[in-house]
A and B are shown apart, each in its own frame.
Chain A
């Protein structure tokens, strides 16, 4: 059984995130800010956001349908066929509701919905059964909570853009095709991104970008013990 490793895409996301964090921690020039400081989200502000993202596929490893070989007919197990399984990439929809605990810290809860395919490529059949990819479509919901730290001192775009880092965890629920079986699991995530607010005043709209990694265990694709996938999303946000 092959343990899912962090993919190269996930590593790229991690590197990008570290660069963002380093940039956020670097001293900022106060003179660059044109945004009215008191309009920065503060304790008590609420934020809702809706958006879409892209969940990359993940390789869930190769399983060999082995039979015990009769000694003297060869070495190693007799492979009846091989099965390579992966979760295919899929778009996702998400929504979040957050509350600012201070100018730098907010907490939020969210939900994500997607319908990835679970695909198993069947090859190498010992009796020449035609190769085939067996699939099913999952309905995946993730409900999570996160804490965000906003680097108000590293704002950009005249103070409208505010980068952040986030971390949290959630509950994962996969419903199999035909709605007969549901499988649950958990996820932990770490990432970052930025808000970019338009307008001024307590009520304003903006956009939000998120990038990160999600470590998931359980769920329908728990063919392996756990897997780490990169995440990428964009949202429309409203602050009030």
Chain B
């Protein structure tokens, strides 16, 4: 087995500095002098379930919820991914044992973390060789199909964490408000938004256009690239590039929202996975969540600008891209 290095991530963090302008925020790692997208090189993704339940959820129910969450991603029309439940295990979901394990863990120290995903990566190729997920039993869980008031829907959180397991980072497609004790989500249009909906809802079980574009970017289905297109350009302020701006394309025909980020100092962005046709482009600062949920804390992400629209309708060609979109933002 080739030497590997462990990279433990409490939440998904994207390595973006000097990285190519990807269409969607994906997890990456440094391999030598280049940044490589984290992805599984071999499918199906084989995983174990820790044979331990929690109050209100047996290990069998845990396995069923996780399997359903995997099936949600496996069924994405934009991507070719697959998974396989291998069996139950007594080991905890920890890195370094060579097996992808998903289970409950009691982590009262992480009082704002419902679940987390960690990775073991082949440092030569950048391929994921192991990924573990734990669900924090410091919170109450439910597997009810309709949701259960006061309990977090296990399948919804599993869909989010398994998105990370596949290599997706967080999406900024959502709105929050600051309240005492933290942020409250007002709305989200991606299961990969970093802040969960309130307990009792099962809305997080369904992938949105932004999620489908992301998974399709990493594991594209044969027809996906041919049938979609992209928008690329720059976000600038006072003539200089803006790093970390959230750029969203709204499809005027399908009424879907897909986002991307400006991932370099010159403000370049690419939004891929878009259906052909006219789109409206909007840019906003990354102020609906902690920047560290999206980017490394050392990066100079600029959030001092007003949201605004691009002044032209942008038409996405099938199997191609429209370039030259420059969003000139102004300070707040």
A interface vs B, CB < 8 Å? 1, 63-74, 77-78, 80-81, 83, 85, 118, 120, 122, 125-130, 132, 134-136, 176-178, 180-181, 220, 222-223
B252 close to A68 (CB less than 8 A): no
- Given A67-B187, A180-B317, A220-B278, A129 and B257 contact (CB-CB distance below 8 Å): no
With a cutoff of 8 Å between Cβ atoms, the chain B residues found around residue A74 in the complex are 186
Is there a chain A Cβ closer than 8 Å to B185's Cβ? yes
- Given A67-B257, A68-B189, A71-B200, A122 and B280 contact (CB-CB distance below 8 Å): yes
A214 smallest CB distance to B (angstroms): 21
C-alpha spacing A89/B198, complex, angstroms? 48
B129 smallest CB distance to A (angstroms): 34
The one of B250, B308, B320 in contact with A65, judged by C-beta atoms closer than 8 angstroms, is B250
- Given A80-B257, A128-B307, A223-B252, A135 and B187 contact (CB-CB distance below 8 Å): no
B173 close to A125 (CB less than 8 A): no
Instruction: Report, nearest first, the 8 A-B pairs whose CB atoms are least far apart.
Output: A78-B187, A67-B187, A129-B307, A67-B189, A176-B315, A181-B317, A136-B313, A70-B185
A65 close to B257 (CB less than 8 A): yes
Seed contacts A70-B186, A222-B253; 15 additional CB < 8 Å A-B pairs: A66-B255, A67-B257, A70-B187, A70-B201, A71-B201, A72-B198, A78-B175, A78-B187, A118-B278, A129-B282, A129-B284, A129-B308, A132-B308, A134-B280, A181-B317
Encode contact with A along B278-305: 1 for CB under 8 Å, 0 otherwise: 1010101000000000000000000000
C-alpha spacing A82/B269, complex, angstroms? 24
B203 close to A126 (CB less than 8 A): no
B202 smallest CB distance to A (angstroms): 10
C-alpha spacing A234/B325, complex, angstroms? 40
The one of B203, B255, B278, B316 in contact with A71, judged by C-beta atoms closer than 8 angstroms, is B203
Encode contact with A along B157-185: 1 for CB under 8 Å, 0 otherwise: 00000000000000001110000000011
C-alpha spacing A44/B255, complex, angstroms? 53
A129 close to B306 (CB less than 8 A): yes
B309 close to A69 (CB less than 8 A): no
A15 smallest CB distance to B (angstroms): 33
With a cutoff of 8 Å between Cβ atoms, the chain B residues found around residue A63 in the complex are 250, 252, 255
Encode contact with A along B179-212: 1 for CB under 8 Å, 0 otherwise: 0000011111100000001101101000010000
With a cutoff of 8 Å between Cβ atoms, the chain B residues found around residue A77 in the complex are 187
B252 close to A85 (CB less than 8 A): yes
A134 close to B308 (CB less than 8 A): no
A17 smallest CB distance to B (angstroms): 32
C-alpha spacing A129/B208, complex, angstroms? 24
With a cutoff of 8 Å between Cβ atoms, the chain A residues found around residue B255 in the complex are 1, 63-66
With a cutoff of 8 Å between Cβ atoms, the chain A residues found around residue B257 in the complex are 65, 67, 80
With a cutoff of 8 Å between Cβ atoms, the chain B residues found around residue A177 in the complex are 312, 315
B250 close to A70 (CB less than 8 A): no
With a cutoff of 8 Å between Cβ atoms, the chain B residues found around residue A122 in the complex are 280, 309
**From residue 246 to 280 of chain B, which have CB atoms closer than 8 A to chain A?**
250, 252-253, 255, 257, 276, 278, 280
Of all chain B residues, the one with the shortest Cβ separation from A69 is: B187
A128 close to B306 (CB less than 8 A): yes
Of all chain A residues, the one with the shortest Cβ separation from B310 is: A134
A83 close to B252 (CB less than 8 A): yes
A83 close to B250 (CB less than 8 A): yes
B187 close to A68 (CB less than 8 A): yes
Q: List 7 A-B contacts (CB under 8 A).
A: A67-B174, A68-B208, A83-B280, A85-B252, A135-B311, A136-B315, A177-B315
C-alpha spacing A130/B311, complex, angstroms? 11
With a cutoff of 8 Å between Cβ atoms, the chain A residues found around residue B125 in the complex are none
**From residue 61 to 107 of chain B, which have CB atoms closer than 8 A to chain A?**
none
Of all chain B residues, the one with the shortest Cβ separation from A222 is: B253
B310 close to A70 (CB less than 8 A): no
- Given A63-B252, A220-B278, A180 and B308 contact (CB-CB distance below 8 Å): no
C-alpha spacing A129/B283, complex, angstroms? 9
With a cutoff of 8 Å between Cβ atoms, the chain A residues found around residue B174 in the complex are 67
B207 smallest CB distance to A (angstroms): 12
C-alpha spacing A125/B248, complex, angstroms? 13
A102 smallest CB distance to B (angstroms): 45
With a cutoff of 8 Å between Cβ atoms, the chain A residues found around residue B307 in the complex are 125, 127-129
- Given A70-B198, A122-B309, A223 and B253 contact (CB-CB distance below 8 Å): yes
A85 smallest CB distance to B (angstroms): 6
C-alpha spacing A177/B316, complex, angstroms? 11
C-alpha spacing A201/B36, complex, angstroms? 80
Is there a chain A Cβ closer than 8 Å to B123's Cβ? no
Is there a chain A Cβ closer than 8 Å to B59's Cβ? no
C-alpha spacing A130/B317, complex, angstroms? 28
B186 close to A73 (CB less than 8 A): yes
A132 close to B311 (CB less than 8 A): yes
C-alpha spacing A139/B280, complex, angstroms? 20
C-alpha spacing A135/B314, complex, angstroms? 9
C-alpha spacing A45/B197, complex, angstroms? 74
B175 close to A129 (CB less than 8 A): no
Is there a chain A Cβ closer than 8 Å to B113's Cβ? no
C-alpha spacing A71/B201, complex, angstroms? 7
B246 smallest CB distance to A (angstroms): 11
With a cutoff of 8 Å between Cβ atoms, the chain B residues found around residue A129 in the complex are 282, 284, 306-309
